[in-house]
Amino acid sequence: MSSFVLYNYFRSSTSFRARVALNIKGIEFDYKAINLLKDEQHSEEYQKLNPMQGIPTLVHDGKVIPDSAAILWYLEDIRPEPPLQPKDAYLKARMRQICEIVNSSMHPYGNLKITKALTKDYGFSEEQKNEWFHRWIGQGLTALEKVLPEIAGTYCVGDQVTMADIFLYPQIITCQRFKVDLTPYPTIMKIFANCDKNPHFKKAHFSRQIDTPEELRAKD
């Protein structure tokens, strides 16, 4: 049994963020699957860990850390090597800008509770829901494609994996799932392809988790 337990779900992009950071830091963890499609995030037991009823939540030696950004910064504090941020203060600020665009201006628009409410409570058709997602995601992608060429190398900030890549990569997987045309975003897609080859990202990928259904499992 590890001293780290991660409550997460194979397909969740925020869970991916925590998994890949744990992998990069070389931390083994116990995987506790929370099935979003069975509403397990709303169970009384899970709400005690995470009152926002979202995943992931990390428990380390009994200490509870909900929210992917809080988890990443916690890991960075307790295990600074290898770093998930650049040393330079300006580049760090730009890295945070990318994380913020993904976290606040993209991720929520495709989140399950929001898309469910759109159809159930606000009468959106599937087509309208799709339009909603493409509209807001498109704004984020367009901004990122302008921001990234100023600071990117192999990855979002130079040639080192940082939190910016950890936020960006799973968001692009979500875009692919929602059939967003990604051809207008060559810088984003170059970084995505580089992350895709990184072994830590591969290990954290939705297709390689213990709760990944057989039909979505990676064949390699």
Least separation in angstroms between residue 203's CB and ligand GSH is 18
Using the rule CB under 6 A, is 14 a contact of ligand GSH? yes
Nearer to ligand GSH, 63 or 219 (CB): 63
Angle between helices 163-177 and 13-24 (to 10 degrees): 140
Using the rule CB under 6 A, is 113 a contact of ligand GSH? yes
Site size toward ligand GSH (CB under 6 A) is: 14
Cα separations in angstroms, 115 against 24, 111, 134, 194: 32, 6, 12, 30
For residue 125, give the DSSP letter. -
Among 6, 24, 54, 151, binds ligand GSH (CB under 6 A): 54
Give residues 140-199 in contact with ligand GSH (rule: CB under 6 A): none
Q: Which amino acid is at 201?
A: F
Using the rule CB under 6 A, is 41 a contact of ligand GSH? yes
For residue 4, give the DSSP letter. E
For residue 62, give the DSSP letter. T
Q: Which residue is nearest to ligand GSH (CB)?
A: 54
User: Which span (48-56, 125-133, 179-187, 198-206) binds ligand GSH, by CB under 6 A?
Assistant: 48-56
Quote the CA–CA distance of 188 and 190 in Å, as a whole number: 6
Using the rule CB under 6 A, is 96 a contact of ligand GSH? no
Using the rule CB under 6 A, is 204 a contact of ligand GSH? no
Nearer to ligand GSH, 113 or 190 (CB): 113
Among 97, 111, 139, 187, binds ligand GSH (CB under 6 A): 111
Output the furthest CA–CA distance in the chain (Å, rounded): 49
Nearer to ligand GSH, 45 or 150 (CB): 45
Quote the CA–CA distance of 213 and 190 in Å, as a whole number: 29
Quote the CA–CA distance of 87 and 70 in Å, as a whole number: 19
Quote the CA–CA distance of 50 and 80 in Å, as a whole number: 25
Least separation in angstroms between residue 79's CB and ligand GSH is 19
Q: State the alpha helices, DSSP H only, in 106-211.
A: 112-120, 126-147, 163-177, 186-197, 199-204
Using CB under 6 A as the criterion, which residues of the chain lie in contact with ligand GSH when the complex forms? 12-14, 36, 41, 54-56, 67-69, 111-113
